[in-house]
């Protein structure tokens, strides 16, 4: 039996953050993982997907000038090299050097302070659960008989198929559809909602859909996958749209319809830790129904991002160790989809803001085509949309366009620090830059709020 101050189940984004934060508090720490440390982000998520997208985008640009027939075997090898280089920074050796113990194996609960890892008993004063999530596999007739692809296995194949159906038009499905299409794979993207990126600002999602269609991605919206079967050397997927059935043929299928929390086998019932289909239930301090046991990351939600797992990880360790508790605040979350153009978001969509704040909100849009920096590119695409309250405080923003991730980060800074967007009029931005799009919006807001001022109104009259 081994004893620690802190034991963490799962050594992904959340688990690693917990490990290092607890170590910083001078605790003895063990990370337990059935795989190598790094989690989904390193091996099947952010890292391989973005490495792949980066290569695909370079090939796509080069194809404007020369004829290239990409070898997907080489591309996947390169992607795996990037994964290994990222892994190096959090390898078992690095953990050991940093004074963090690591046990490789599947872990389950025995009691509040006791875990079992394949026969070995681990005791800890505090236990943290950071077991992440897995791809959700929809109940499509025949899918269990197909050797289908998910984000977990696609980057570890010898090569990619020549044609592929991508089931799910959320960020994972969209990013990978565009990238695969850009390297010459015939892509069929299937989405059950009326447009792709359905959870994002509708008008921008539809623009992105249009861009993808123009690039050659075959997109089917408002349709359901009904049946799948082997057909010749590939598969046949039957979809239903407007009560009509249609068959789509391809070499394979990538499932990207959502995530399920990794709770199976943890034996949470034994220790009375509550959970539901969305994951482990925690209070605002990230403590589970079993006092003293905390949970973070994808297994908890509500936002399934590496940066959320990190933020929750730090908060959970503080709450477990310090007398002052930190409540989670999910009103200040931002994210970005690495499509081209990028799609960034912070806070509320317009319809969400209107529901909460009514018609007093101020909505501003500014197009990339009117931005000098974007004009230098042929046919600039994109739009920034910012929603403020009456006074000019940001409620939400969405940006579709080049560097959207960076622009949304500037918005996120103003929003999180409670700075009125009007103040941006006084901040000198370099010319020409994409971030000037926000200065343009702040100037419009400035004028609008000025014109609303009763003294100015009276003067104007």
Interface residues with ligand FAD (CB under 6 A) are: 9-15, 32-35, 39-41, 44-46, 49, 106-107, 130-132, 151, 172, 262, 265-266, 297-299, 304-307, 309
Give dist(CA 124, CA 3) in Å, integer: 6
Smallest gap from Cβ 53 to ligand FAD, in A, equals 9
Cα of first residue to Cα of last residue in the chain, in angstroms, is 83
Smallest gap from Cβ 40 to ligand FAD, in A, equals 3
Smallest gap from Cβ 388 to ligand FAD, in A, equals 26
Smallest gap from Cβ 311 to ligand FAD, in A, equals 11
On whether the CB atoms of residues 92 and 102 are closer than 8 A, the answer is: yes
Smallest gap from Cβ 262 to ligand FAD, in A, equals 4
Smallest gap from Cβ 94 to ligand FAD, in A, equals 16
Give dist(CA 296, CA 321) in Å, integer: 15
Choose between 34 and 429: whose C-beta lies nearer to ligand FAD. Answer: 34
Choose between 56 and 107: whose C-beta lies nearer to ligand FAD. Answer: 107
Using CA of residue 413, residue 415, residue 419, residue 422, what is the dihedral sign?
positive
Give dist(CA 263, CA 280) in Å, integer: 8
Choose between 46 and 237: whose C-beta lies nearer to ligand FAD. Answer: 46
By DSSP bridging, strand 101-104 and strand 120-129 are: unpaired
By DSSP bridging, strand 163-167 and strand 133-135 are: unpaired
- Secondary structure class of 119 (helix, strand, coil): coil
- Helix, strand counts (H, E) of the chain: 13, 23
Choose between 10 and 234: whose C-beta lies nearer to ligand FAD. Answer: 10
Choose between 135 and 401: whose C-beta lies nearer to ligand FAD. Answer: 135
Choose between 89 and 456: whose C-beta lies nearer to ligand FAD. Answer: 89
330 token code pair: 């999910």
Choose between 32 and 185: whose C-beta lies nearer to ligand FAD. Answer: 32
Smallest gap from Cβ 149 to ligand FAD, in A, equals 12
326 token code pair: 């930190």
For the residues of 102-160, what is the DSSP string, one character each?
A: EEES-EEEEETTEEEETTEEEEEEEEEE---EEE-----BTGGGS--B-TTTGGGSSS-
On whether the CB atoms of residues 126 and 5 are closer than 8 A, the answer is: yes
Smallest gap from Cβ 356 to ligand FAD, in A, equals 26
Choose between 106 and 249: whose C-beta lies nearer to ligand FAD. Answer: 106
Closest CA relative to residue 239, chosen from 206, 186, 192: 192
Give dist(CA 323, CA 283) in Å, integer: 17
Smallest gap from Cβ 246 to ligand FAD, in A, equals 27
Closest CA relative to residue 195, chosen from 186, 184, 205, 182: 205
On whether the CB atoms of residues 408 and 441 are closer than 8 A, the answer is: no
Choose between 132 and 234: whose C-beta lies nearer to ligand FAD. Answer: 132
């Amino acid at each position: 039996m081994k004893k620690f101050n802190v034991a963490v189940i799962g050594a992904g984004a959340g688990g690693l953050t917990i490990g290092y934060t607890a170590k910083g508090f001078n605790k003895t720490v063990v990370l337990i993982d059935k795989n190598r440390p790094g989690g989904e982000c390193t091996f099947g998520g952010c890292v391989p997907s973005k490495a792949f997208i980066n290569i695909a985008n370079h090939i796509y640009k080069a194809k404007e000038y020369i004829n290239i027939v990409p070898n997907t075997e080489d591309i996947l090898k390169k992607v795996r090299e990037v994964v290994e280089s990222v892994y190096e920074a959090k390898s078992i050796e690095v953990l050991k050097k940093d004074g963090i113990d690591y046990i490789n194996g599947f872990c389950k609960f025995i009691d509040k302070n006791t875990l079992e890892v394949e026969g070995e008993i681990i005791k800890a004063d505090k236990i943290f659960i950071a077991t992440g999530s897995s791809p959700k596999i929809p109940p499509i007739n025949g899918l269990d008989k197909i050797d289908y692809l998910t984000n977990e296995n696609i980057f570890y194949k010898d090569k990619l198929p020549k044609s592929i159906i991508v089931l799910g038009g959320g960020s994972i499905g969209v990013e990978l559809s565009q990238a695969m299409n850009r390297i010459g794979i015939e892509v069929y993207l299937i989405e059950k909602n009326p447009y792709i990126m359905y959870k994002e600002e509708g008008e921008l999602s539809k623009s992105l859909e249009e861009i993808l269609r123009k690039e050659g991605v075959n997109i089917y919206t408002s349709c359901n996958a009904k049946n799948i079967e082997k057909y010749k050397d590939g598969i046949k997927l039957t979809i239903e749209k407007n009560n009509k059935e249609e068959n789509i043929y391809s070499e394979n299928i990538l499932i990207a319809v959502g995530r399920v929390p990794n709770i199976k086998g943890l034996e949470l019932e034994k220790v009375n830790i509550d959970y539901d289909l969305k994951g482990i239930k925690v209070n605002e301090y990230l403590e589970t129904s079993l006092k003293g046991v905390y949970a973070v990351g994808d297994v908890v939600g509500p936002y399934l991002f590496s940066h959320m797992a990190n933020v929750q990880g730090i908060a959970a360790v503080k709450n477990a160790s310090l007398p002052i508790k930190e409540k989670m605040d999910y009103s200040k979350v931002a994210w970005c989809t690495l499509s081209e153009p990028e799609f960034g978001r912070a806070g509320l969509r317009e319809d969400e803001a209107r529901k909460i704040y009514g018609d007093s909100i101020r909505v501003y849009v500014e197009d990339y085509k009117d931005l000098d920096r974007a004009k230098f590119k042929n046919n600039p695409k994109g739009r920034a949309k910012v929603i403020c309250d009456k006074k000019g405080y940001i409620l939400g923003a969405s940006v579709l366009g080049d560097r959207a991730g960076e622009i949304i980060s500037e918005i996120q800074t103003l929003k999180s620090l409670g700075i009125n967007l009007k103040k941006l009029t006084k901040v000198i931005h370099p010319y020409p830059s994409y971030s000037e799009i926000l200065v343009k919006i702040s100037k419009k807001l400035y004028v609008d709020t000025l014109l609303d001022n009763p003294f100015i109104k009276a003067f104007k009259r």
